[in-house]
A = this chain, B = another copy of it.
Amino acid sequence: MAHVEAQEQSKLSGRVRLGNLTSRIPEELGVFAALVILVTIIGVHNRSFVRPENLLDLIASNSFFGIIALATVFLLALGEIDLSVGWNFNFSAVIAGLAMVHGVNPWLAAGLGVLFGAGLGLVNGLLAVGLQLPVIIVTLGTYSMFQGLSLVVNKSAAVVPPDITGSFFTLANKRIFSLPYVGGVPFLAVVFVALAVVLHVLLHRTRFGYRVLAIGSNAEAARLAGIPLARTRVLVLVLVGTACGFAGSLYVGSFGSVDPASGGQFLLAVVAAVIIGGTPLSGGMGTVIGALIGVLIIATISSGIVFFGIDATWSTFVTGAVIIIAVSVDQAVKWQRRRNAERRASRTT
């Protein structure tokens, strides 16, 4: 397929040969450019969009599906995809919320929510490994199972912790420190970005990350290299589940309640963020930073719709069109960069 060659070449990645040392032109340059262009355009149209406070709020309020997207990179790097993330998020949030309703200390309850999410991830993992099925098939089932069970326990009513004045809730909505020129930075935004850095390191600087990428690149070769396939697969699904649970608990903290529908729409946004960010479905490659930028692009688009005051009837269409434009910019930058890379490579040989 045409794009296969494109991918092939894009595998030429940012690294170019300079004798033996290598200079890194980040993969994520393209999406980043797309993001900057979007933000600029909207900012020019309406200055108040680019006020640091607003941009930080934007990051914070999109950090919930964002956190899940970051972890999902690992799954796509493995060549898999999890459809159940949205309802895992919802179910975990509901459990955390119910725990608080039943008087558990909010911090403990939040921890419980995280563990619960991890547990649901473990369920996905064990089913996938046990039945030797692709994750997409398994999560097709657990998608409805998590949703259904969540409905049963929340009695399809919003779960509202009685007292949301505690330190947990205040922190979740707080601007924890303030920067010059920028002002207060929301806790959620900090957590989101910090997590992105951590997961980036986990994927590209640890043996675990290397194993994930190796399996995604060539599962059979990984087996022959003695990499534990099943275990790694389960671990990645647990990681994704943990992210869902974590996002869920944060959600309870910052909203002080969980609606039965919360997170139900996450799936498409998560996948969109990850692949717009530059992680292919085919596995063996993945960029957490790209996913971070992908999340911001999606957030910016929906916000831009509002700032441009685009009529509700047109907003959906515009969203789609802008996505196409954004990925085109990404491609354009990739091509440009590839040409430069070749030129520099040749100069050194």
Residues of A in contact with B (beta carbons under 8 Å apart): 1-8, 78-81, 83, 127-129, 131-134, 136-138, 140-149, 151-152, 155-156, 215, 219-220, 223, 229-230, 233, 268, 271-272, 275-276, 280-282, 313-321, 323-324, 327-328, 331
Rounded to whole angstroms, the CA-CA distance of A137 and B6 in the bound complex is 14
Given A131-B328, A144-B316, A148-B315: 15 more A-B contacts, CB < 8 Å: A1-B78, A1-B233, A3-B129, A81-B281, A131-B327, A132-B331, A133-B327, A140-B320, A144-B320, A144-B321, A144-B323, A145-B320, A148-B314, A156-B313, A281-B281
Residues from chain B with a CB closer than 8 A to the CB of A319 are: 144, 148
Among B7, B152, B320, contact of A147 (Cβ-Cβ < 8 Å): B320
> Residue A313 contacts which of B141, B151, B233, B321 (CB distance < 8 angstroms)?
B151
Instruction: Tell me, in angstroms, the Cα distance from A320 to B141 when the chains sit together.
Output: 4
Check A132/B6 contact, CB under 8 A, given A1-B229, A80-B1, A233-B1. yes
Complexed CA–CA distance, A165 and B148 (Å): 41
Asked if B8 contacts A276 (CB within 8 A), the reply is no
| Residues in B whose Cβ lies below 8 Å from that of A2 | 128-129, 132, 229-230, 233
Q: For A317, give its contact among B1, B81, B145, B220 (CB under 8 Å).
A: B145
Query: Are A137 and B220 neighbours in the complex by a CB distance under 8 Å?
Result: no
Report the minimal beta-carbon distance from A319 to chain B, rounded to whole angstroms: 5
Task: State the main secondary structure of chain A at its contact with B.
Answer: helix
CB-based nearest B residue for A317: B148
A3:B276 contact, CB within 8 angstroms? no
Question: How far apart sit A271 and B137, CA to CA, in the bound complex (Å)?
Answer: 10
- Tell me whether A327 and B141 are in contact in the complex, defined as CB-CB below 8 angstroms, given that A132-B6, A148-B320, A316-B151 are known contacts: yes
* Closest chain B residue to A145, Cβ basis: B320
| CB neighbours of A132 from chain B (8 A) | 2-3, 5-6, 331
Contact B315 A280 (CB under 8 A): no
Q: Is the CB of B230 within 8 A of A1?
A: yes
Distance between Cα atoms of A324 and B83 in the complex (Å): 14
The residue on B at minimum CB distance from A220 is B4
Query: Looking at the complex, which one of B127, B142, B219, B316 makes contact with A4 (CB distance below 8 Å)?
Result: B219
Which residue of chain B lies nearest to A331 when distances are taken between CB atoms in the complex? B131
Hey, which chain B residues are within 8 Å of A280, CB to CB?
134
Can you identify 23 A-B contacts, CB atoms within 8 angstroms?
Answer: A1-B80, A1-B230, A3-B133, A4-B219, A5-B132, A5-B223, A6-B133, A81-B281, A131-B331, A134-B275, A134-B281, A137-B275, A138-B327, A140-B271, A141-B327, A143-B268, A144-B317, A144-B319, A145-B320, A148-B314, A148-B316, A151-B316, A152-B314
5 closest residue pairs by CB, A with B = A148-B317, A144-B320, A148-B316, A145-B320, A6-B132
Chain B CB count within 10 A is highest, among A83, A140, A141, A313, for: A141
Q: Report the minimal beta-carbon distance from A53 to chain B, rounded to whole angstroms.
A: 29
CB within 8 Å for A4 and B229 given contacts A280-B134, A331-B132? yes
Q: What separation, in Å, do the CA atoms of A287 and B140 have in the docked complex? A: 19
Q: What's the least CB distance linking A217 to chain B, in Å?
A: 12
Across-interface contacts of A1 in B (CB, < 8 A):
78-80, 215, 219, 229-230, 233
